[in-house]
Amino acid sequence: MKYNLIIADDDADFGHKAKTAFYDALNGINRPKVILPTGNTPAPFYKDLRESGDCPSFTYIALDEYTGLMEDDKRLFKKWLAQEILDPLEIKVRWTFNSAANPACEIEKMRALFFKNGHADVAILGIGENGHVGFNEPGSPFNESVRHVRLTEETRKANMAYWGEQYGVMPTHALTLGIADLIESKKTILLARGAAKAEILQRALHGEITTDVPASYLQRQENVTIVADRAAAQLLPH
């Protein structure tokens, strides 16, 4: 598989290099549409973007969202991203999921947006320790578009750590863009930080292409850039 590997020395370097990769990807695209992830991994990237003050405007496309929460719930990914990056950058056009609405309607809404406007120009993604991208857990078919999924216990626990126990029971279901939507993205930037991601990153990029490792779909993609710190990249050939 051909991909562009960018290795960062520390968090600040990671943020800076991810931002540079993002700007490179946006270059020359008129009104770009961009998928952005939540999670701990992109934090230095968002910090760098916030502080640089020169980010071109783009349309934000939600990668995933819990369902069944009230629209003012602090756990919503759209709230997280609003605070972290979208409000500071004054990104106004946001394709998001309404957590409290009927999931089937939300699926139709997002599919209609893709149908009318085209898919993402740039997908920025994280990778879960089990190889998930968005909420496409192991076993997710590569040919499915936006869908409503049940979360694995593993993922619910990992996500609980973002807010602590005080927010009570984590949602059991979520909406996610499917791998088929991610495949349609013209460019992909995968972000990975920390030794816990080293093995799955190696498997995803150099192992078997299988739905057991959802991120392995990337091996068939063009225009893939990996931005990883040394710990996450330690098993990759470079």
Paired tokens of 67: 């369902």
Lookup result for tokens 């990769």 = 21
b vs e for 99-135, b when ≥16 Cβ sit within 10 Å of the residue's Cβ? beeebeebbeebeebbeeeebbbbbbbbbbebbbbbb
Based on CB atoms, which residue is closest to ligand PGA, 104 or 200? 200
Q: How far is the CB of 47 from ligand PGA (least distance, A)?
A: 14
Would you call 64 a catalytic residue per the annotation?
yes
Would you call 154 a catalytic residue per the annotation?
no
Name the closest residue to ligand PGA (Cβ): 39
Q: Does 40 bind ligand PGA (CB under 6 A)?
A: yes
* Contact assessment for residue 159 and residue 176, using Cβ atoms and an 8 Å cutoff: no
Q: Does 41 bind ligand PGA (CB under 6 A)?
A: yes
Would you call 143 a catalytic residue per the annotation?
no
* Contact assessment for residue 234 and residue 198, using Cβ atoms and an 8 Å cutoff: yes
Residue list 90-129, contact with ligand PGA (CB under 6 A): 126-128
**Amino acid (1-letter code) at residue 24:** D
Q: Does 39 bind ligand PGA (CB under 6 A)?
A: yes
d(CA 197, CA 86): 26
Q: Does 214 bind ligand PGA (CB under 6 A)?
A: no
| Local structure of 190: helix, strand or coil | strand
Q: How far is the CB of 31 from ligand PGA (least distance, A)?
A: 27
Would you call 130 a catalytic residue per the annotation?
yes
Based on CB atoms, which residue is closest to ligand PGA, 103 or 128? 128
Phi, then psi, of 113 in degrees rounded to 5: -65, -45
Based on CB atoms, which residue is closest to ligand PGA, 15 or 39? 39
Active site positions, annotated: 64, 130, 132, 137
Footprint on this chain of ligand PGA (rule: CB under 6 A): 39-41, 126-128, 132
